[in-house]
Amino acid sequence: MRYLLAGLRAGIERALRGAVEAARPELGLKPDTPVPDFTVEVPREKNHGDFATNLALLLTKTVRRPPRQIADILIPHLNREQMRVRDVVVAGPGFINFHLDPDWLHGVLPEIAAYGQDYGRSSIGGRRKVQVEFVSANPTGLLHMGNARGAALGDSIAALLSFVGFDVSREFYVNDAGHQVENLALSMEARYFQALGRDWPVPENGYHGQDLIETAARFLDQYGDRYATVAPAERRKALLRFALEDKLTAMRKTLAQFGVRYDVWFSEQSLHDRGAVRETLELLRARGHLYEKDGAWWFRASAFGGEKDEVLVRANGIPTYFAADIAYHKDKFDRGFEWVINVWGADHHGHVSRMKAALAALGYDPDALDVVLMQLVRLYRGGEIVRMSKRTGRYVTLDELLEEVGRDAARYFFVMRSADSHLDFDLDLAKSRTNENPVYYIQYAHARICSIFRQLAESGREEPRADTVDVTLLQEAAERALIRRLADFPDEVAQAAFDLAPHRIAHYAHDVAGFFHSFYNAHRVLGAGDGLEKARLLLARCTGVVLRNALQLLGVAAPERM
RNA sequence: GCGCCCGUAGCUCAGUGGAUAGAGCGCUGGCCUCCGGAGCCAGGUGCGCAGGUUCGACUCCUGCCGGGCGCACCA
């Protein structure tokens, strides 16, 4: 499918290529000289037309003439049939500006109405398999703000990629192996004995969160004191098994409330169990990328762009987390994913180059892995930073956040900034039901639109079918501005998807809501007069569709009333 | 010390190498006998500093300054 705006741009691109070919002799361009990689973009300044190209500017290098002269040569060679433009002018340093026939906007609303909830969807992704791995929090506590931001970002990125035609899988990597689960077992053991009235402190480097006390209490409910007297190894194993299940269940539930569902929960332990870690190590060794030093096995990451070499097998024979992670990423590609995306906290950025190095060493394309690094979240309440400490177990959990501000505000706030920008999350703002709150501003626009149609129905009238509407009646500046912005949606989606940047959609939705509010405030819909009323109803309907589709990508509801 | 990210309006932030850098909040003043005032309209100050590449730099490169985060046989 190709949307109106994209079609117009493509036509101009084609006409420009044709013009260069036709003008080669005049320009003195040899037949084998390639056409430069020009852009056809929407100028910021309205006076500069609907599209502008830098083609003439780029041709100066090979043609060696002033750009405006080149533009003057090209323009007569443009095939007007291909472009549907009314006017083409040279401007500024040598831009070629295209002014479309303003009637092109008439096609936008019928198009949106026809696609409905699929408006903005495309097949650019070509069903290629993409995996988005996000959150992957340690199952040793509750989800915190960093996890929450990762969840919102990862889920929206996945939604965007799916919307543009990728075959997307959402995955959660469960770190159920290694040191930390041993710590979890020991911490659980302490809480278990404490619940039984014994003085048994949680280890210094254990998990001190309140939630483990509750987990231990549930364990006690189920098994009583029978594990108090068995061998420590057996006790810890049972406690660990229970705790992992308990934590994962809680995370699953919290994430579901946050609107996030996974296709795959992938166990790290399973990689060890089925020998995948060992196999990966063998493969690296066979390829000559490992060496032994001080009794440990090292990966020559520095030979593949890593910052330094890394230990994969400790002197005690136990593989490191990194070794398992290499096996995990190898497994991802072996499962057929062509594009693998990880959402990580910025504190893991050092991990990126060595992970890519490992992939290269194994013969995979490191560029097929993209890591979205997200910066920290700072919570503000009453203008003050909310201090948190994971070590002491005092931190605001995602459950508490959902309780306090609700899902919509939380989802929106986490994606409204670009991932690599620190996020100041103002709890008071997120809770406020005022115009200060951007998510309400957008939702309000949607609710308003729904209200119009409720009133229409109450007056016993039907919503007009798109093909019975005379859209040419929409000539007001506010109407045209809104329609123009609605036409951008497919492009915005594609851009946001390929940039892995859901914040673009957040801004876009806010923008659309703004255009709608302006329109609504300046003009009546109901009672505007027969033909005009129908046209404005269609405009309102289409705005609602775009807002809903955009919010859907962000995991934010589009309420019919508020 | 080395590496990565960030320095844009009073605050929080947008801005695929393009023409006159935007939005929200805050502040001031206006706007419905009418579809939801959780709305609309108007008002102004800014790309950390210095070089370089380019026809053109907030954007790319180098060096400083300032902030965050990494640099374990932790994960």
Three-class SS state of A22: helix
Q: What is the largest CA-CA distance in chain A?
A: 94
**Whether A64 CB is under 7 Å from strand B:** no
How crowded is residue A39: how many other Cβ atoms within 10 Å of its Cβ? Answer: 12
Chain B positions with an atom below 7 A of a protein C-beta are 3-7, 12-16, 18-26, 34-41, 55-56, 68-75
d(CA A220, CA A215): 9
Spacing of A442 CA from B42 C1' in Å: 23
Pairing of strands A167-174, A264-267: parallel
Quickly tell me which residue has 């040279």 as its tokens: A90
Q: Which residues fall within 8 angstroms of residue A431, CB to CB, at 6 or more apart?
A: A404, A405, A406, A409
**Whether A432 CB is under 7 Å from strand B:** no
Three-class SS state of A259: coil
How crowded is residue A522: how many other Cβ atoms within 10 Å of its Cβ? Answer: 11
* Residue A128 binned pLDDT confidence (cut-offs 50, 70, 90): very high
d(CA A504, CA A510): 10
Q: Which nucleotide is nearest to A425 (CA to C1')?
A: B12
For residue A218 the two structure tokens come to: 């549930």
Strand B neighbours among A 93-132, CB < 7 A: 93-95, 97
How high is the pLDDT of residue A208? 85
**Proportion of chain A above pLDDT 70, given as a percent:** 99
**Whether A136 CB is under 7 Å from strand B:** no
Spacing of A353 CA from B13 C1' in Å: 29
How high is the pLDDT of residue A390? 57
Task: Say whether pTM exceeds 0.90.
Answer: yes
Side chain identity, residue A178: G
d(CA A147, CA A141): 11
Mean pLDDT of chain A: 93
pLDDT digits (tens, 9 = 90+) for A142-175: 899 999 999 999 999 999 999 999 999 999 999 9
d(CA A484, CA A402): 36
**Whether A205 CB is under 7 Å from strand B:** no
**ipTM of this predicted structure:** 0.95
Nearest to A556 by CA among A488, A508, A506: A506
How far is the first Cα of chain A from the last one, in angstroms, to the nearest whole number? 35
Which residue gives the smallest C-alpha to C1' distance to B22? Answer: A44
Nearest to A490 by CA among A13, A129, A124: A124
Spacing of A63 CA from B71 C1' in Å: 50
For residue A467 the two structure tokens come to: 């093909």
d(CA A36, CA A56): 10
The domains located in chain A, with CATH, are: 4-100 (3.30.1360.70), 435-554 (1.10.730.10)
Decide if A471 contacts A104 (C-beta within 8 A): no
Q: Which nucleotide is nearest to A352 (CA to C1')?
A: B4
**Whether A43 CB is under 7 Å from strand B:** yes
How high is the pLDDT of residue A560? 95
* Residue A389 binned pLDDT confidence (cut-offs 50, 70, 90): low
Side chain identity, residue A349: H
pLDDT digits (tens, 9 = 90+) for A476-491: 999 999 999 999 999 9
Q: What are phi and psi of A424, to 5 degrees?
A: -95, 110
Strand B neighbours among A 284-303, CB < 7 A: 293-296
Q: Which nucleotide is nearest to A456 (CA to C1')?
A: B35
Q: Which nucleotide is nearest to A308 (CA to C1')?
A: B71
How crowded is residue A477: how many other Cβ atoms within 10 Å of its Cβ? Answer: 10
Strand B neighbours among A 304-323, CB < 7 A: 307-308, 311, 314-316, 318, 320-322
